Amino acid sequence: MESLVHDAIVIGAGVMGSWAALQLARRNAKVLLLEQFPMPHMQGSSTGETRGLELASSNEEEMPMMLHSRRLWEELQDSTGETLLKWLTPAEFKEELPKVVYPDVTGAISDGSGALWLTPAEFKEELPKVVYPDVTGAISDGSGALLVAAKCLRVIHREFTLLGGTLLDDTAVVEIIPEYSSENCAAVRVRQTSSSGESESVLKANKILVCCGAWSAELVKPFGLDIPITKELAIEGHFQLKDTKSELSRCGIMDFRTNPKPSFHGWCHPPFALPNKVKWLADYLHCVGPILKSPSVLIGLPSGTGFKLCPSLGSILAAMALGKLSQEIESINIKEDTLKAYYPDRFVVLSKEE
């Protein structure tokens, strides 16, 4: 494999890297997807059995990508025959859609989300069992569904390999080489673990896509980038809320309506932080795009909304790698200036000489 020059090497087989790799393979690219941990694992932010998938957002510019991502999830489900989204039956659709409520939010509701503003009084009526201090308003989103997250990744990986892609786990990237020797390509130096021990090798490609979440920051430091990633607690689950005096009921609650009742709830965005848990970008803007000084290297690092946006962001990153960005953003109906705000350039650390 060391002698091969792939069209792209994608580092990180979480939801961002997996979608980017799948979209590259769909465009007939020769792709190598690398994962540092043995799969499956619980080490990254793409692990777990379920995610809430809804369209409510206070960011108007993200809505085309959220709608695009929803379409891509639905198309993957339809094309594979696998159940990836858990909806209610058509007869229940109108009144009993799973509903997600976001307490204490600001900003405009994006068109296409089907979301409604709730006053503090309406919020109390909507979720009478939830104690959330100082609510100034809320968003009620009727577009929600449950995404079977772990199964989604397995299906993406299967489709990727069926298209000729190669997935290597237990393969940690220790160095990115933007210009490799005289072969006019980029490369990564990897450390692989097998039954016979550890070994190092160099793998080559025209483009390197860095999509390994919190581990991305260390890999791109040699390129003069300092990506601030903070650590926050972000637990998601689904449970029946019984004890309204518990700490759980004082947190932001996602309310998934089921039929027949009772409602089930998910814990999200608690108003306190604990160290060494899930990691997020500190400025809450995605970091997606090419590295200015090394255009053979691209970064795909979403901030906090991976399963809702990564299908679209992965498709955009794949288009960037293949030089087909203009066609992609036209099909999604997203502004190029929106994407430029995500480019890694904002994390460049200038030297004293500069």
Q: What is the CATH number of the domain that holds 161?
A: 3.50.50.60
Paired with 6 in beta bridges are: 205
Specify the pLDDT at position 132: 54
Structural domain span for residue 315:
1-63+149-230+283-353
Position 275 in a domain = no
> What is the radius of gyration, based on Cα positions, of the chain?
21
Strand order in the sheet with 115-118: 100-103, 138-141, 115-118
Per-residue pLDDT averaged across 264-279, rounded?
37
CB count in 10 Å sphere of residue 89: 8
pLDDT 10s digits, 160-206: 999 999 999 999 999 999 999 777 899 999 998 777 888 999 999 99
Position 290 in a domain = yes
Specify the pLDDT at position 335: 85
Position 78 in a domain = no
Q: pTM, whole model, 2 decimals?
A: 0.77
Highest mean pLDDT among 104-108, 113-117, 234-238, 246-250: 113-117
How many domains does the chain divide into?
Answer: 1
The one-character DSSP state at 58 is S
With helix as H, strand as E and coil as C, how does 125-153 read? HHCCCCCCCCCCCEEEECCCEEECHHHHH
Name the least confident of 51-65, 224-238, 245-259, 323-337. 245-259
pLDDT 10s digits, 134-154: 556 666 656 667 788 888 999
CB count in 10 Å sphere of residue 127: 23
DSSP string, 269-286: S-SS--SSSEEEETT---
Position 131 in a domain = no
Specify the pLDDT at position 208: 98
Q: How far is CA 103 from CA 18, 106, 249, 306, in A?
A: 32, 9, 12, 21
pLDDT 10s digits, 214-265: 888 899 999 999 888 754 444 443 333 344 444 333 333 344 343 344 343 3
CA 98 to CA 114: how far, in whole Å? 12
Position 33 in a domain = yes
Paired with 229 in beta bridges are: 281
CA 214 to CA 187: how far, in whole Å? 21
Position 101 in a domain = no
Phi, psi for 145 (deg, rounded to 5): -150, 165
